[in-house]
Structure 1
């Protein structure tokens, strides 16, 4: 039964930005096969989707009505192809039997992390293709997880400088001017990491005849999702990370508050580098709550940044990022592990007598499909695509972002979860 499958030799559940993907395509052909080429594709794709409405004119009664439509957004952050055998044109013969085609690819440093949100996802996928002219291709696919830490050592040092924000307003009550209220916010830096505690100051000068009843501090995270087809539209997901308050300041009074901002250690911090359809923003807001007849005064630090690696004043060389001795922990075996008696073949001749076709034992995960299009049972990893030329059907078989399914995708582990699974302190990246 002719087939192809992807075997990853250095995958332990997570690849890090900048690390190497190393593996091979294993092919078995029942007979001599004509192919154009054998290639590997590695893609990072962002996808959003939700249901919206649009107005249309009903020609039966010339009235305007509303109907539901599906809004989608798709964008390839990157898409690379490696031809391992042959080319995109012409044809050549491949002999019957077992063939192995190794490949490797270094992930870029400036890529997003895998992400699953309420309206979309960022997915990394490897696809192997045996391109057969005038015939259905043999294919295998594998979805893998990528963690791309936000390292403040690789960003502008301005993020580490003291930054101040202020605003004031003239308090009026029943058309009587009552003086000026000023709120000043001072941060030692604007780049934070989960688990970090940051001291900061708030100063309120109240020269009015009205009391400032309370002050409220709020750290807010906003994720924006965008679709483009058939029209451009956005949705936002708002999460108040922190919210607390302090006593106010009486009329003609002044007070300086020495406060701390404790970022939750388990906070999910997505990395949307080079994404067109996702954006994350953080806002630190200080509100001076006034008497009922006066509007509140807000001061906003709108340029807050959250990441994973604290600034240490050193810029680690590319060779040390990520640290290969710690992330991810090496299991010492290939992934998926080769089958005993199948690959590599036993010594004493190749192929050994009776070795082909392979014995009917379960593969580490679905190894592809035969020429008759029958699906193999998957034990690990995503299923391979059915044998047809419909891209959407193949995507649906993979349980991809555009595939309708009653079973929700399991989200990839967060950066902190990967660290906890490795029994490493947070944050411990890069190593000292």
Structure 2
């Protein structure tokens, strides 16, 4: 790396986690083994944006004139974009002496500060077809030579969902499915599966209590039922940047739990199985016009000796502020544990949430610059709560009527 040994952006805050209106401050640090001349200036850019991108194959013509080409789908949405000159001048300078700056050997620190706009901002997000990123990029501008660039990302506490404002979040999500299977060309009785969650609105750190009933009137065994928390990310981008919009979806399971199955011609129920919600972005990804995030609990009943399984999809909402009556053990950002349930407003509850890295873990951020020290890895952070896990022996059992599939907790 020659004379330049270190080139990095350092935040003053140990945990670079900010809200709209906060002041972001820090410094750009350079370490030179020898003097570096012909520097025009050093600038730093602050960007908040979302981007969706993918390629698709398109075929046109027929027979011998048929052609296939790759088509780009791309859209961007900016939330802020500001540049600050911290040394010298920028590349638009026409002064002949603008490139006369000499940086001596040793360490150089250039402070900066930037005020995040007061406006609704989405949470950061890293997906396969789309991302929301908040980035600081520093550049050493050298006329007629390759520029040096480095970048780092930070987290924004974005617009969220307060479940105290959504009374429907307390209503259970309920569904059922029925499947008839054949055995040696003879149709046996159906397999009926019903399932439900204890409510439909949650926050990360909370448990989804899932229950269900299987009525197996067939000669096939139901091996087990898997309850999965599924995240669906829907990205919108335009063909060749300005053409017609198109969507791509990414589906991933972020949590799951196994439930009991049953033998042929039998019945079984499972009650209040805990499905933990890990650190993840809220439903909708509010304030982002290019990416939508949806959640549902999928029940998959594995029927033996056939690929014809039964499926139930129960939509849920993942918010950022829990209902004030939730059974939670709150932890503020400094790590101090509060053992008693506070009497607090929704705003106070939001302040005591801790922020944890996404359950997906650190993601590799592509480096479009030719000069960055080390591989850039980043994991978005989301509000997370500590919820005590109740003793299932003290919980009310699932009840159901023999003549019905649906049941109540």
Could you say which TM-score interval applies, normalised by the shorter chain? 0.5 to 0.7
Q: Aligned Cα RMSD in Å?
A: 4.7
Deviation by residue 1:337-392 (Cα, 9 ceiling, x = unmatched): xxxxxxxxxxxxxxxxxxxxxxxxxxxxxxxxxxxxxxxxxxxxxxxxxxxxxxxx
Structure 1 residue 237 displacement after superposition: 4.4
Residue 49, structure 1, aligned to residue 62, structure 2: no
Give the whole-Å Cα distance in 2 for the aligned partners of 1:410 and 1:9.
Answer: 16
Q: Is the 8 A contact 1:193 1:263 kept in 2?
A: no
Q: Is the 8 A contact 2:324 2:346 kept in 1?
A: no
Give the structure 1 partner of residue 290 of structure 2: 277
Give the whole-Å Cα distance in 2 for the aligned partners of 1:239 and 1:307.
Answer: 18
Give the structure 2 partner of residue 188 of structure 1: 198
Q: 1:199 to 1:235 in 2, by over 3 A?
A: closer
Give the structure 1 partner of residue 67 of structure 2: 65
Give the structure 1 partner of residue 226 of structure 2: 217
Give the whole-Å Cα distance in 2 for the aligned partners of 1:285 and 1:103.
Answer: 44
Q: Is the 8 A contact 1:309 1:427 kept in 2?
A: no
Q: Map 1:67-216; keep pairs closer than 5 Å.
A: 67-76=69-78, 78-79=79-80, 107-108=118-119, 110-124=120-134, 144-148=154-158, 150-174=160-184, 176-206=186-216, 208-216=217-225
Structure 1 residue 259 displacement after superposition: 4.1
Give the structure 2 partner of residue 349 of structure 1: none
Secondary structure of 2:169's aligned partner:
helix
* Structure 1 unmatched ranges of 5 or more: 1-6, 25-40, 82-101, 128-140, 329-399, 420-424
Secondary structure of 2:168's aligned partner:
helix
Q: Is the 8 A contact 1:213 1:291 kept in 2?
A: yes
Residue 236, structure 1, aligned to residue 265, structure 2: no
Match of residue 377, structure 2, among 396, 400, 410: 410
Q: Is the 8 A contact 1:151 1:311 kept in 2?
A: no
Q: Is the 8 A contact 1:168 1:182 kept in 2?
A: yes
Structure 1 residue 274 displacement after superposition: 2.7
Deviation by residue 1:177-199 (Cα, 9 ceiling, x = unmatched): 43333211122112233333343
Give the whole-Å Cα distance in 1 for the aligned partners of 2:320 and 2:14.
Answer: 21
Structure number with greater CO (CA < 8 Å, separation at least 6) is: 1
Give the structure 1 partner of residue 358 of structure 2: none
Secondary structure of 2:378's aligned partner:
coil
Give the whole-Å Cα distance in 1 for the aligned partners of 2:299 and 2:201.
Answer: 18
Deviation by residue 1:143-179 (Cα, 9 ceiling, x = unmatched): 6430237454354121122332122244444554433
Q: Is the 8 A contact 1:218 1:240 kept in 2?
A: no
Of structures 1 and 2, the larger Rg is shown by: 1
Secondary structure of 2:73's aligned partner:
strand
Q: 1:80 to 1:74 in 2, by over 3 A?
A: closer
Q: 1:163 to 1:63 in 2, by over 3 A?
A: closer
Deviation by residue 1:226-273 (Cα, 9 ceiling, x = unmatched): 32132624142423521524232421x2221124123164x4335611
Q: Map 1:338-349; keep pairs closer than 5 Å.
A: none
Give the whole-Å Cα distance in 1 for the aligned partners of 2:293 and 2:157.
Answer: 17
Residue 289, structure 1, aligned to residue 302, structure 2: yes
Deviation by residue 1:85-143 (Cα, 9 ceiling, x = unmatched): xxxxxxxxxxxxxxxxx9856634x531122333332123689xxxxxxxxxxxxx996
Q: Is the 8 A contact 1:165 1:184 kept in 2?
A: yes
Q: Map 1:1-12; keep pairs closer than 5 Å.
A: none
* Structure 2 unmatched ranges of 5 or more: 1-8, 27-44, 83-112, 138-150, 326-342, 356-364, 389-409
Give the whole-Å Cα distance in 2 for the aligned partners of 1:290 and 1:327.
Answer: 41
Give the whole-Å Cα distance in 1 for the aligned partners of 2:370 and 2:237.
Answer: 20
TM-score normalised by length of structure 2 = 0.55
Secondary structure of 2:163's aligned partner:
helix
Give the whole-Å Cα distance in 1 for the aligned partners of 2:224 and 2:162.
Answer: 31
TM-score normalised by length of structure 1 = 0.53
Give the structure 2 partner of residue 33 of structure 1: none
